[in-house]
């Protein structure tokens, strides 16, 4: 059986690591905050690597789930020193398609395959192992590792060449920005009409205007509660990637720009660690609990 190492144990990575362990694939963990890795390693009975290099030298597959482009490239440069030939690196972070192409080129020099495989489905999907995964890279490499990925995702789609997975994730993040704007604006309107919010959410969730976001965040936001499922600061980071990609390809993204500006205001008000449903605060002038 192929052995897997997981680098990055944030809100998504921790749960993906659990699912890899439950499927019998996880061999090693690494996290910049060592206390978190030590605790999870003890719980899952897997090795805790002291460095990314040590992890890469000890597994067949390296999975990454970190926050930023520079973090991905730093890890790639680090593990190049020790990674086994014919290994596979699967990056499940959300970064630019340019970064994915850079990472693949760096690893190709070491005879290591690379897949950009960002995910969608939020913390709930990561916990349940029901993420959607959009994959760029060699389709034969994807088939080699597909059994491993199915422990974390129920929908795994090969999009095309390296970088196409990240480009598809950018589509997802742009769409999520628009849905957030629509749902929070509509519910702020409902509040102003003095409607019973629970009933409004219930009936609309059964109709054509329903969405995952409305169903899973509608009630909590109307109760002025914003649990950190998908953090404002992280979506803000993702939208910056989308805006740059749009600029580079000559595509205007006005709604994405508006959402980015709104998130910047939320961050300035200290709400960067809240769920993106905190956008409701701006629509209603509410303060978070």
Active-site residues, by number, are 169
Output the DSSP codes for 33-83.
SHHHHHHHHHHHT-EE-SSHHHHHTT-SEEEE--S-HHHHHHHHHHHTTTP
End-to-end CA distance of the chain: 48
DSSP 8-state code for residue 278: G
Q: Token match 């020099």: residue?
A: 109
DSSP 8-state code for residue 275: B
Distance between CA atoms of 170 and 176, rounded to whole angstroms?
10
Distance between CA atoms of 276 and 231, rounded to whole angstroms?
6
Q: Are 62 and 72 in contact (CB under 8 A)?
A: no
269: its two tokens? 């008000």
Task: Please list, residue by residue across 95-110, b when 16 or more beta carbons sit within 10 angstroms of its beta carbon and e when fewer do.
Answer: bbbbbbbbbbebbeeb
Task: Please list, residue by residue across 144-174, b when 16 or more beta carbons sit within 10 angstroms of its beta carbon and e when fewer do.
Answer: bbeebbebbbeebebbebbbbbbbbbbebbb
């Amino acid at each position: 059986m192929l052995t897997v190492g997981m680098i990055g144990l944030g809100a998504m990575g921790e749960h993906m690591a659990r699912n890899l362990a439950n499927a019998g694939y996880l061999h090693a963990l690494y996290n910049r905050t060592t206390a978190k890795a030590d605790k999870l390693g003890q719980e899952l009975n897997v090795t805790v690597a002291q460095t990314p290099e040590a992890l890469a030298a000890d597994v067949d597959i390296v999975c990454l789930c970190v926050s930023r482009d520079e973090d991905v490239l730093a890890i790639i440069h680090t593990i190049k020193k020790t990674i086994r030939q014919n290994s596979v690196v699967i990056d499940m972070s959300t970064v630019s398609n340019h970064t994915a192409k850079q990472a693949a080129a760096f690893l190709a020099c070491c005879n290591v395959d690379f897949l950009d495989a960002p995910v969608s489905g939020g913390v709930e999907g990561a916990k349940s192992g029901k993420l959607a995964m959009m994959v760029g890279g060699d389709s034969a490499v994807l088939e080699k590792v597909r059994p491993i990925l199915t422990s974390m995702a129920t929908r795994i789609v090969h999009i095309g060449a390296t970088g196409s997975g990240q480009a598809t994730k950018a589509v997802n993040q742009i769409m999520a920005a628009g849905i957030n704007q629509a749902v929070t604006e509509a519910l702020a309107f409902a509040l102003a009409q003095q409607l019973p919010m629970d009933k409004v959410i219930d009936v609309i969730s059964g109709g054509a205007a329903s969405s995952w976001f409305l169903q899973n965040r509608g009630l909590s936001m109307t109760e002025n509660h914003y649990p950190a499922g998908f953090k404002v600061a992280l979506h803000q980071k993702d939208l910056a990637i989308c805006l740059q990609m749009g600029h580079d390809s000559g595509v205007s993204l006005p709604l994405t720009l508006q959402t980015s500006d709104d998130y910047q205001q939320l961050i300035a008000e200290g709400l960067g660690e809240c769920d993106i449903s905190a956008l409701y605060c701006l629509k209603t002038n509410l303060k978070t609990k």
